[in-house]
A = this chain, B = another copy of it.
């Protein structure tokens, strides 16, 4: 995977969280995911096809997503419920959509499937491909989250 293909996901994520939730997120250094390290409490996952096949996963810890959704809704969210899952689905869609638009300007056309959201304390995610799996850690005021971008070779 071309390293330049990672930037659109970083840009889309910071932009979506800033405009939808007024949350400033700071991307750390992307790394190659070697195992199931990215554990979290809520994950949005969406498949992509086209230029190549892949999957995008956004894994939030409880603190980060409660703060993000509280800001989106303008009311304090205290637990991981169905409203949080819906919000993560919407955020995943928006991040995927914005990233795909930037990728399109690079001549890389992707289609997106529909997002699924997994809720459960401390779950782990594995992506089933022999292609590279890039993880991008993000910090926010409320907590941390990780974006994983995996594509077939």
Contact = CB atoms under 8 A, between A and B. Distances in A.
Contacts of A79: none
The secondary structure that dominates the A interface is: strand
**Count of this chain's copies in the oligomeric assembly:** 2
Nearest to A84: B126
A1 B126 CA distance: 29
Contacts of A53: 111-114
Nearest to A59: B118
Contacts of A118: 43, 45, 118, 120, 123-125
Kindly state the interface size class of chain A when it binds its partner: 35 or more
A102 interface: no
Contacts of A47: 46-49, 55, 112-114
A90 interface: yes
Interface string A103-133: 0000000011111111111111111110100
A110 to B, nearest CB: 9
Given A89-B126, A115-B127, 13 more contacts: A48-B49, A49-B111, A50-B111, A53-B111, A53-B114, A82-B126, A85-B124, A85-B126, A86-B128, A89-B127, A89-B128, A114-B129, A114-B152
28 contacts: A35-B82, A44-B128, A45-B45, A46-B47, A47-B47, A47-B112, A47-B113, A47-B114, A49-B111, A53-B111, A53-B113, A55-B114, A86-B126, A89-B127, A90-B128, A111-B111, A113-B113, A114-B129, A115-B127, A116-B125, A116-B127, A116-B150, A117-B125, A117-B128, A118-B118, A118-B123, A120-B123, A120-B124
